[in-house]
């Protein structure tokens, strides 16, 4: 496989303003934030960054740190939009702001894969705050949204309400992704499309321990059994930078060899507004009919 890139372009409520020296400056609606970005090895275009807040990482490499704000922000966040989807943006203890903007080209690609289908069935594992689920539901998909975090699923429901989509056919489920997928296999369920964004490390609602390198092959195997000859896609994203796009591409290729179609892998990125360069953010592998 030859790796490809999917680059997210700026839109009204999000943009990568500048990057460099291990940091990035982004706009989220009317506010600007600085966050660490180890892959921004170059020098920034601007020398003076003005922001409403900055996430200062801790001494460990597993995501610790804290926000430092220069002014007051809305206590309950503020509303952002992507296409028909509305969602709350606000700083979280995990250094992001409630959604992953580099996923915008993925949301658009998935909608294209399901275009023309009558009520397709989609599964979103590790669905977080539901922007991807709502992007699919807005186009007529019946979505099963799964996340081990009750708080994340509650945020996803709130985003559905913000979007005026509480009447859409979305199942909101708090569960361990691997256990849920295994049960769906035993139930004989099938889906037209699956998106999964597994973390490097995590815990399920009952204390289940998830380690990416150990659990991913089994999870991809279960997902394969939930897709059939009429299915359209699987999209896997991985933010663990020590893993290769070629590695996860080969994993998906081997599991999906009997289904035909095409397997691709590569990098996600975001286009910088000031210079147009692409800042890499994650790796991905995808199967499509």
What does the pLDDT look like over 49-104, one tens digit per residue?
999 999 999 866 556 899 999 989 999 999 999 999 999 999 999 899 999 999 99
> Which tokens go with 82?
């992507």
Instruction: Delimit the domains of the chain by residue range.
Output: 9-78, 81-88+95-288
What gap in Å lies between CA 274 and CA 281, rounded to an integer?
18
- pLDDT at position 209 is 82
- pLDDT at position 58 is 83
C-alpha Rg value of the chain to the nearest Å: 19
Nearest Cα neighbor of 157 from 141, 179, 174 is 174
- Top mean pLDDT of 1-5, 79-83, 238-242 is at 79-83
8 Å CB contact between 287 and 58: no
- pLDDT at position 60 is 61
Asked if residue 185 has pLDDT above 90, the reply is yes
**What is the pTM for the complete model shown?**
0.94
CB environment 234-256: b (16+ within 10 A), e (fewer):
bbbbbbeeebebeebbebbbebb
Higher pLDDT, 113 or 1: 113
CATH number of 9-78: 2.60.40.1180
- pLDDT at position 274 is 86
Asked if residue 112 has pLDDT above 70, the reply is yes
What gap in Å lies between CA 210 and CA 138, rounded to an integer?
31
> Which tokens go with 280?
């890499």
8 Å CB contact between 57 and 126: no
Please name the residues in contact with 211: beta carbons below 8 A apart, sequence gap of 6 or more.
200, 201
pLDDT interval class at 151 (50, 70, 90):
very high
Q: How many residues does the chain have?
A: 289
Q: Cα dist. 136→72, 222, 252, 276 in Å?
A: 34, 22, 22, 29
CA dihedral sign of residues 200, 204, 207, 208: negative
8 Å CB contact between 219 and 198: yes
Question: Considering the domain 81-88+95-288, what is its CATH architecture?
Answer: 3-Layer(aba) Sandwich (3.40)
């Amino acid at each position: 496989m030859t790796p490809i890139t999917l680059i997210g372009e700026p839109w009204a409520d999000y943009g990568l303003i500048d990057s460099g020296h291990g940091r990035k400056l982004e706009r989220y609606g009317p506010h600007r934030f600085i966050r660490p970005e180890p892959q921004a090895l170059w020098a920034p275009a601007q020398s003076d960054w003005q922001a409403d807040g900055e996430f200062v990482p801790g001494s460990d490499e597993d995501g610790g740190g804290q926000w430092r704000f220069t002014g007051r922000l809305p206590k309950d966040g503020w509303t952002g939009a992507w296409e028909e989807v509305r969602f709350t943006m606000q700083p979280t203890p995990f250094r992001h702001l409630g959604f992953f903007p580099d996923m915008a080209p993925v949301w658009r690609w998935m909608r294209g894969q399901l275009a023309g289908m009558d009520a397709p069935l989609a599964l979103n594992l590790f669905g977080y705050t539901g922007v991807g689920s709502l992007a699919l539901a807005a186009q007529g998909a019946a979505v099963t949204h799964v996340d081990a975090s009750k708080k994340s699923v509650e945020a996803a429901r709130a985003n559905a309400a913000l979007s005026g989509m509480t009447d859409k056919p979305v199942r909101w489920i708090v569960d361990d992704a691997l256990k849920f997928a295994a049960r769906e296999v035993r139930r004989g369920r099938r889906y037209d499309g699956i998106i999964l964004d597994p973390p490097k490390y995590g815990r399920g609602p009952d204390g289940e321990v998830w380690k990416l390198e150990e659990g991913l092959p089994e999870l991809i195997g279960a997902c394969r059994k939930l897709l059939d000859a009429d299915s359209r896609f699987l999209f896997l994203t991985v933010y663990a930078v020590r893993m290769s796009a070629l590695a996860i591409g080969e994993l998906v290729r081997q599991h999906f060899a009997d289904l035909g179609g095409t397997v691709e892998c590569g990098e996600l990125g975001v286009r910088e507004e000031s210079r147009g360069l692409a800042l890499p953010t994650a790796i991905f592998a995808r199967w499509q009919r």
